[in-house]
């Protein structure tokens, strides 16, 4: 790896350099509200703002900091072009539903643009065309099929010739969607948070919801306090309350990687780009905190906790791609995130199950949370206010998913979970604690037992029982983020055992000698 493309020692998201102007206290008493929203990302914040505008008393809880979850670790494309999705949606759901999906996401894009104008939010919003491109013969055909799907659906875009794409490497063809956008997600949400609090909304940070009592509409927190409300929205990215008919068995989770780099002499392409070929390459421009133009590269996705090489390698592959084609000379920011997929490529938005219509969920945006997450907030608002929404039925969590492809995905995903559960239990620790270097983690053999260990830069060891507190799978070490990741349902824990991402709500247990 070139010295000029060397990564900084610790991951840092470009978007997280923008601090939220206000800090919020944690919940320290029992309270009540009309609506409790759990999770302060794009869906939770947008829904909170919309419901407060309607005069409802809204409480917004987050286990960490506002915008500190997936929304703060995205590539922040505001687009209805979600890879080569529309040909698949037509085959699986029919022309009408595929068109509703497009219209819903266009509605999400328009909503963001209108809020930026109405609230005068300075968030680096830029209208650009979006492209999916191919570099292989196989994907060239798929891109042509996607362009034909655009024609059938009346999508504003279509087939793009190679000369339409200003990329510094050879491609076969592309498909374009006009008038899409990119922005700075944290700056945008800071504007919505400010509007929400001015409307009387209450935000509580560092307040982890650990349980929902659906019969009494009470949310319990890890500090022992309660919020009672008429409605509860779970917008935690991965739902943590799974009395919902085993929703987690219908979800697939992947990690993907991004970096923001300073450029040499090569021009940053106009537009937003995504490769049809694997490994995925996402390309867009961005602006650094000091106003400098950066190249933002993303990709290298894999199932969380399931990979055959060190996670750091994924960043290095992106950096090598950037150095080869874009003459990058410094990488001040790199970060990763998790994305959730449903069985049938459509998000789950609405009542979590029959008989508990007051508990609403929004998840499975499949890497496209800016538009899907925004339209989810609009659907949830209309559901609570008992108003008509043209997109509500398409995304119902209780919808039937009995098409053959969904059944196949369900069987495959749960077979993988079972395999990872068994593999983790059977796998032996191959190293001793003494073999760990400073700033290194892994499963070690200690007192005849498997122990999760991390040795910090000063040689202090953190010892944990490597069993996920969600469903008992063995966690694996993530060297890029210095975290313990669960390969079954993608819970993540810090090297000290604290929950970073759900569905787990309890930390890993410390190992005591």
Strand ordering across the sheet containing 440-446: 431-432, 440-446, 449-455, 461-464
How do residues 83-133 score in pLDDT, each as one tens digit? 999 999 999 999 999 999 999 999 999 999 999 999 999 999 999 999 999
pLDDT of the residue at 163: 81
414 occurs within a structural domain = yes
Rounded-to-integer distance, Cα 64 and Cα 499, Å: 10
Judge if 384 and 237 occupy the same domain: yes
In eight-state DSSP terms, residue 222 is: T
Judge if 157 and 213 occupy the same domain: no
Nearest alpha-carbon partner for 196 in 62, 319, 315: 62
Region at 345 (left for phi over 0; alpha for psi -120 to 50; beta for the rest): left
Degrees, nearest 5: CA angle 78-364-260: 45
pLDDT of the residue at 398: 84
pTM exceeds 0.95, yes or no: no
Range of the domain at 389: 15-74+186-248+344-399
Judge if 512 and 441 occupy the same domain: yes
102 occurs within a structural domain = no
Residues near 100 by beta carbon (within 8 Å), at least 6 away in sequence: 390, 391, 394
92 occurs within a structural domain = no
Judge if 394 and 406 occupy the same domain: no
pLDDT of the residue at 305: 63
Residue 303 has, within 13 A of its CA and on its CB side, a CA count of 15
pLDDT tens for the chain, 513 residues: list them.
Answer: 444 567 766 789 999 987 766 789 999 999 999 999 999 999 999 999 999 999 999 999 999 999 888 888 899 999 999 999 999 999 999 999 999 999 999 999 999 999 999 999 999 999 999 999 999 999 999 999 999 999 999 999 999 988 888 899 999 999 999 999 999 999 999 999 999 999 999 999 999 999 998 777 899 999 999 999 999 999 997 887 655 556 767 888 888 999 999 987 778 888 999 999 999 999 999 999 999 999 999 999 887 666 555 778 889 999 999 999 998 989 999 999 888 899 899 999 999 887 788 999 999 999 999 999 999 999 999 999 999 999 999 999 988 654 545 445 444 544 454 444 455 444 556 677 778 888 888 888 887 788 888 888 888 888 888 889 877 888 988 877 788 988 887 788 988 888 887 778 888 988 887
pLDDT of the residue at 293: 92
Judge if 507 and 419 occupy the same domain: yes
Judge if 329 and 443 occupy the same domain: no
Number of separate domains in the chain: 3
State which of 399, 415, 443 marks the end of a domain.
Answer: 399
Judge if 406 and 481 occupy the same domain: yes
Judge if 394 and 424 occupy the same domain: no
Give the CATH number for residue 158: 3.30.9.10
Residues near 412 by beta carbon (within 8 Å), at least 6 away in sequence: none
9 occurs within a structural domain = no
3 occurs within a structural domain = no
Judge if 448 and 501 occupy the same domain: yes
pLDDT of the residue at 278: 93
pLDDT of the residue at 466: 87
Q: Could you tell me if 79 and 104 are in contact, meaning their C-beta atoms sit under 8 angstroms apart?
A: no
State which of 321, 340, 359 marks the end of a domain.
Answer: 340
Judge if 433 and 391 occupy the same domain: no
What is the average pLDDT value for the chain, to the nearest integer? Answer: 88
Judge if 509 and 437 occupy the same domain: yes
286 occurs within a structural domain = yes
How do residues 472-482 score in pLDDT, each as one tens digit? 888 988 877 78
Nearest alpha-carbon partner for 391 in 354, 347, 339: 347
């Amino acid at each position: 790896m070139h010295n000029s493309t060397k990564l900084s020692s610790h991951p840092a998201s470009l978007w997280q350099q923008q601090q939220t102007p206000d800090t919020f206290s944690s919940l320290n008493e029992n309270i009540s509200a009309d609506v409790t929203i759990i999770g302060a990302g794009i869906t939770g914040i947008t829904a909170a703002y919309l419901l407060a505008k309607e005069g409802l008393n809204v409480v917004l809880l987050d286990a960490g900091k506002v915008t500190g979850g997936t929304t703060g670790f995205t590539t922040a494309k505001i687009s209805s072009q979600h890879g080569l999705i529309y040909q698949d949606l037509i085959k699986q759901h029919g022309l009408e539903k595929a068109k509703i999906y497009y219209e819903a996401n266009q509605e999400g894009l328009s909503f963001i643009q209108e809020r930026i104008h109405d609230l005068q939010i300075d968030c680096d919003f830029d209208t650009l065309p979006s492209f999916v491109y191919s570099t292989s013969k196989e994907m060239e055909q798929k891109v042509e099929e996607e362009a034909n799907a655009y024609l059938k659906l009346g999508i504003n875009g279509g087939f793009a010739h190679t000369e339409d794409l200003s990329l510094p490497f050879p491609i076969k063809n592309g498909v374009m969607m006009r008038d899409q956008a990119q922005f700075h997600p944290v700056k945008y949400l800071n504007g919505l948070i400010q509007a929400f609090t001015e409307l009387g909304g209450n935000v509580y940070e560092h307040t982890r919801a650990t349980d929902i009592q659906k019969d009494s509409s009470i949310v319990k927190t890890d500090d022992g306090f309660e919020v009672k409300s008429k409605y509860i929205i779970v917008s935690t990215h991965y739902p943590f309350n799974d009395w919902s008919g085993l929703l987690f068995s219908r979800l697939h989770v992947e990690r993907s990687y991004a970096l923001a780099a300073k450029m040499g002499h090569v021009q940053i392409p106009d537009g937003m780009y995504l490769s049809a070929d694997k490994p995925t390459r996402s390309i867009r421009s961005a602006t650094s905190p000091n106003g400098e133009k950066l190249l933002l590269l993303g990709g290298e996705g894999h199932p969380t906790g399931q990979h055959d090489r060190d996670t750091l390698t994924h960043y290095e592959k992106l950096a090598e791609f950037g150095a080869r084609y874009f003459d990058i000379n410094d990488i001040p920011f790199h970060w990763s995130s998790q994305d959730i997929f449903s069985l049938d490529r459509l998000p789950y938005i609405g009542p979590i199950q029959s008989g508990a219509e007051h508990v609403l969920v929004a998840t499975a945006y499949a890497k496209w949370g800016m538009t899907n997450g925004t339209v989810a907030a609009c659907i949830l608002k209309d559901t609570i206010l008992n108003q008509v929404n043209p997109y509500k039925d398409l995304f119902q969590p209780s919808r039937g998913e009995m098409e053959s492809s969904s059944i196949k995905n369900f069987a495959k995903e749960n077979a993988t979970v079972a395999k990872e559960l068994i593999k983790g239990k059977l796998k032996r620790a191959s190293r001793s604690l003494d073999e760990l270097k400073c700033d290194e983690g892994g499963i070690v053999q200690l007192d005849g037992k498997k122990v999760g260990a991390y040795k910090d830069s000063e040689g202090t060891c953190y010892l944990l029982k490597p069993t996920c507190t969600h469903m008992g799978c063995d966690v694996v070490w993530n060297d890029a983020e210095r975290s313990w990741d669960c390969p079954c349902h993608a819970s993540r824990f810090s090297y000290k055992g604290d929950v970073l991402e759900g569905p787990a709500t309890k930390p890993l247990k410390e190992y005591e000698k």
